[in-house]
Amino acid sequence: MEPIALFSASYMEARKRFIEAAEATGFSIYSEVHPVAGPAGEELAMDFAVCGPEDAEKALVVISGTHGPEGYTGSACQLGFLESTHLREMFSSHRVVLVHAHNPYGFAWMRRTTEGNVDLNRNYVDFDKPLRSNPEYDRLHHAFVPTQLDDPSAEKVLTDYQAEHGPIAYMAAMLGGQRTHADGLFYGDTQSTWSQDTMIAGLRRSLANQKTVVLIDVHTGLGPYGVPYLVHGYAKEDPRYSVMESVFGETMRSTAVKEEFDEDLPVDPEGPIVLAMDWVLPDKLTYAYVIEYGTYPPAEVLGAHRKDNWLHAHGDLYSEQGKAIKAELRRVMYPEFDDWKTMIWNEAVDALEKSAKVLSY
């Protein structure tokens, strides 16, 4: 298999290739069409490809496109799985569910968030329970999302905050998630999204009879170029923590272990899908984790997201400035270089093989 060929140039191409490969390898396809069309008027959808015995005790789930621009990488990993006889045979006795484009709007429109500016990895919470506040974000919102792009006074507020509180506290304030500013960064909303509702219904339908599930949510943008950064949310006293540590070693970290927090993992965010599996699939033993494939330094990645957020809040999407902002977001989230693509696929194979070992416990 040629890893470079797994990566697509657009949402439409990625979706077409995914569906064709899934059908060619015996997967059943179920699609939920999104209420909003793509930039060319194309249909957007969350596609579920399902294969394996309905009564299998164990299952693998791989999700792409939770954050739109990262869908290119997740889709390539899913396509690689479908085209790999080795990987398909490894999971042939298990149920396999590949969820393509968790956030189809963001994938097609080159947007981290949904059509409502919701970050899906801040949206998977039980909204009937009290929600976490983020007063530090509230304090900085006007500087994170200024009326004028690159406003010197806003940049000074952020620089002064970092100088006073340190880079980890700054990153925690930004990345922790917030539910008070719908036009802001890492907005989690106060209600479930179309994507959350569709995902939960699809997983429960596809995994009705399974008892143990490994779920992988594929991302990009965190960590060194091409290097995988694996994260789950289990506390050290949870037996699943020791299983993940045994199989993955030091490459796997936990948002529940605050001693490990640093600039790459500065906070335990409220609302990632991998932290929600115990209530999404309450009758199953789940091992859920994120693969983050590194791209560029945090300042570039977060800077691109801040500008894109400003664009949708205050700018003109179709202006030359808007097009340049979108191009920069694509660059930092999807390095279109052969070495990066090869590294990603090699590491994806390793993660999938280790996920099979987790299912053997």
For the chain, domain boundaries: 3-128+199-295+334-359
Contacts of 169 (CB under 8 A, 6+ apart): 136, 266
Q: What is the third-level CATH fold of 3-128+199-295+334-359?
A: Aminopeptidase (3.40.630)
pLDDT, tens digit, 9 for 90 and up, residues 197-236 = 999 999 999 999 999 999 999 999 988 999 998 999 999 9
Q: What is the mean pLDDT of residues 82-94?
A: 98
The helix or strand, by DSSP H or E, that contains position 230, with its residue range, turns out to be: strand 228-232
The 8-class DSSP code of residue 3 comes to G
CA dihedral over 169, 171, 273, 270, signed as positive or negative = positive
pLDDT, tens digit, 9 for 90 and up, residues 162-194 = 999 998 899 889 999 999 999 999 999 999 999
pLDDT, tens digit, 9 for 90 and up, residues 305-320 = 999 999 999 999 999 9
Q: Model's pTM, two decimal places?
A: 0.96
> Can you tell me which residue has the tokens 């009705």?
208
Structure tokens at 116: 């409502």
Which strands, in side-by-side order, build the sheet including 212-220?
Answer: 28-33, 45-51, 95-100, 58-63, 212-220, 285-293, 228-232, 252-254
pLDDT, tens digit, 9 for 90 and up, residues 1-40 = 799 999 999 999 999 999 999 999 999 999 999 999 999 9
Q: What is the mean pLDDT of residues 266-294?
A: 94
Residue 261 pLDDT exceeds 80: no
pLDDT, tens digit, 9 for 90 and up, residues 37-50 = 999 999 999 999 99
At 1 the pLDDT is 78
Chain-centroid distance of CA 5 in Å reads 22
